[in-house]
Structure 1
Amino acid sequence: MSNYYYTMIKMHDWLADTDLDVKMILQVHDELIFEVAEKDLDAAQAKIVDIMQNSSKIDVPLLVEAGVGDNWDEAH
Structure 2
Amino acid sequence: MSGQPKRLQKLSEYQSHLLKTLFKTNIALRKELKREDCERVMQEYEILHGLSWKKIKNTIHNWITAEKRKQK
Q: TM-score range by the shorter chain?
A: 0.3 to 0.5
* Structure richer in strand, relative to its length: 1
* TM-score, length of structure 2 as denominator length: 0.33
* TM-score, length of structure 1 as denominator length: 0.32
Structure of greater relative contact order (alpha carbons < 8 Å, 6+ residues apart): 2
Higher Rg: 2
* Structure richer in helix, relative to its length: 2
